[in-house]
Structure 1
Amino acid sequence: MAQRRTPVGDRVRYWFDSTLARGAPALVGWMALLCLAVVVPASAVLVWTDPDVPASPTHRLAQVWHLTGETLRLGGATGTPLQVMMSLLLALVTLLYVSTLVGLITTALTERLTALRRGRTTVLEHGHAVVLGWSEQVFTVVSELVAANANQQRTAVAVLADRDKTLMEEALSTKLGFTGRTRLICRSGPTTDPAVLALTSPATAGVVLVLPHDEPDSDAEVVKTLLALRAALAGAPTRPPVVAVVRDDRYHLAACLAAGSGGVVLESDTITARLIVQAARRPGLALVHQELLDFAGDEFYLVAEATLVGRPFGDALLSYPTSSVVGMMRGDVPLLNPSPETRIAPDDLLVVITRDDDTAVLEDCADLVEEAVVASGPSAPAQADRVLLLGWNRRAPLMIDQLRRRARPGSAVDVVADHGEATVRQVNEADADSGTDLSLTLHHGDVTRPETLRRLDVHSYDSVIVLGRDPVPGQSPDDPDNRTLVTLLLLRQLEEATGRELPVVTELIDDRNRVLAPISPGADVIISGKLIGLLLAQISQNQRLAAVFEELFSADGTGVRLRPATDYVLPDSETPFATVVAAARHRGECAIGYRSHHDVLKSPRYGVRINPPKTEQRRWAVEDEVIIIGTD
Structure 2
Amino acid sequence: QRAILLCFASLLHRNFSLHDQVHHLRGQLGAATAKLQSCIVVMDSSLDMSSVFSYQSNDEFVPSRSLKNFSLLLSLSALYAPIIILKYIDLLSRLRRSGGSEVAFNKRLAYRVDIFLSLHPYAKPLVLLVGTMLLIGLGGLALYGVTDDSLSDCLWLSWTFVADAGNHANAVGFGPKLVSVSISIGGMLVFAMMLGLVTDSISEKFDSLRKGRSEVIEQSHTLILGWSDKLGSLLNQICIANESLGGGTIVVMAERDKEEMEADIAKMEFDMKGTAVICRSGSPLILADLKKVSVSKARAIVVLAEEGNADQSDARALRIVLSLTGVKEGLRGHIVVELSDLDNEVLVKLVGGDLVETVVAHDVIGRLMIQCARQPGLAQIWEDILGFENCEFYIKRWPQLVGMQFEDVLISFPDAVPCGIKMASYGGKIILNPDDCYVLQEGDEVIVIAEDDDTYTPSPLPKVKEAVYIDIVRHERNSQKILLCGMRRDIDDMIVVLDAFLAPGSELWMFNDVPEIDRERKLIEGGLDFSRLENITLVHRDGNAVIRRHLESLPLESFDSILILADESVEDSAIQADSRSLATLLLIRDIQAKRLPYKEAIGSDGFRRSLSEGSWMGEMQQASDKSVIISEILDPRTKNLLYMSKISDYVLSNELVSMALAMVAEDRQINYVLEELFAEQGNELQIRQSDLYLREDEELNFFEVMLRA
The TM-score bracket by the shorter chain reads: 0.7 to 0.9
How far, CA to CA, are the matches of 2:232 and 2:443 in structure 1?
A: 37
For structure 1, the residue ranges without an aligned partner over 5 or more in a row are: 1-71, 585-632
Matched residue, 1:211 = 304
Alpha-carbon displacement from aligned partner over 1:126-155 (angstroms, at most 9, x marks no partner):
111111111122222222111111133462
- Please, which of 481, 493, 512 is the counterpart of residue 578 of structure 2? 481
SS of 1:260's equivalent in the other structure is: helix
Matched residue, 1:435 = 533
Contact 1:312 1:342 in 2 (8 A): yes
Matched residue, 2:449 = 353
How far, CA to CA, are the matches of 2:507 and 2:166 in structure 1?
A: 92
Matching of residues 60-459 of structure 1 within 5 Å: 88-89=181-182, 91-153=184-246, 155-216=248-309, 217-231=312-326, 233-234=327-328, 236=329, 238-331=331-424, 332-364=428-460, 366-369=462-465, 377-420=472-515, 421-426=517-522, 430=528, 432-433=530-531, 435-459=533-557
Contact 2:341 2:360 in 1 (8 A): yes
SS of 1:295's equivalent in the other structure is: coil
Q: Check 1:306–1:88 CA distance in 2 against 1; reply closer, same or farther (3 A cut).
A: same
Contact 1:128 1:157 in 2 (8 A): yes
How far, CA to CA, are the matches of 2:199 and 2:441 in structure 1?
A: 69
Report the RMSD for the aligned CA atoms in angstroms: 2.8
How far, CA to CA, are the matches of 1:446 and 1:555 in structure 2?
A: 30
Larger Rg: 2
How far, CA to CA, are the matches of 2:492 and 2:695 in structure 1?
A: 41
Question: For structure 1, which segment, 316-325 or 563-572, has the greater mean C-alpha deviation from structure 2 after superposition?
Answer: 563-572
Matched residue, 1:39 = none
Contact 1:333 1:547 in 2 (8 A): no
Give the letter for the 1:151 counterpart.
Answer: S
Give the letter for the 2:579 counterpart.
Answer: N
TM-score (norm 1): 0.74
For structure 2, the residue ranges without an aligned partner over 5 or more in a row are: 1-164, 594-615
Asked if 1:545 corresponds to 2:640, the answer is no
Alpha-carbon displacement from aligned partner over 1:354-388 (angstroms, at most 9, x marks no partner):
1222322223565355969x975424443222111
Q: Check 1:482–1:154 CA distance in 2 against 1; reply closer, same or farther (3 A cut).
A: closer
Shift of 1:84: 6.4
Contact 1:212 1:222 in 2 (8 A): yes
TM-score (norm 2): 0.67
Contact 1:379 1:567 in 2 (8 A): no
Q: Check 1:371–1:207 CA distance in 2 against 1; reply closer, same or farther (3 A cut).
A: closer
Q: Check 1:433–1:276 CA distance in 2 against 1; reply closer, same or farther (3 A cut).
A: farther
Contact 1:369 1:576 in 2 (8 A): no
User: Number of aligned pairs?
Assistant: 509
Q: Check 1:492–1:107 CA distance in 2 against 1; reply closer, same or farther (3 A cut).
A: farther
How far, CA to CA, are the matches of 2:294 and 2:496 in structure 1?
A: 42
Contact 2:379 2:649 in 1 (8 A): yes
- Say which structure is richer in helix: 2
How far, CA to CA, are the matches of 1:138 and 1:393 in structure 2?
A: 22
Contact 1:270 1:395 in 2 (8 A): yes
Matched residue, 1:512 = 637
Matched residue, 1:49 = none
SS of 1:479's equivalent in the other structure is: helix
Contact 1:492 1:520 in 2 (8 A): no
Q: Check 1:396–1:252 CA distance in 2 against 1; reply closer, same or farther (3 A cut).
A: same
Shift of 1:471: 4.7
Asked if 1:469 corresponds to 2:567, the answer is yes
SS of 2:498's equivalent in the other structure is: helix
SS of 2:687's equivalent in the other structure is: strand
Question: For structure 1, which segment, 452-461 or 127-136, has the greater mean C-alpha deviation from structure 2 after superposition?
Answer: 452-461
How far, CA to CA, are the matches of 2:185 and 2:700 in structure 1?
A: 95
Matched residue, 1:622 = none
Alpha-carbon displacement from aligned partner over 1:390-441 (angstroms, at most 9, x marks no partner):
1111132222111101221221111111112432334688582453421210
How far, CA to CA, are the matches of 1:375 and 1:199 in structure 2?
A: 62
- Please, which of 610, 623, 648 is the counterpart of residue 500 of structure 1? 623
Shift of 1:302: 1.4
SS of 2:407's equivalent in the other structure is: helix
How far, CA to CA, are the matches of 2:545 and 2:563 in structure 1?
A: 12
% identity of equivalent residues: 27
Report 1 or 2 for greater relative contact order, CA contacts < 8 Å, sequence distance ≥ 6.
1
Matched residue, 2:77 = none
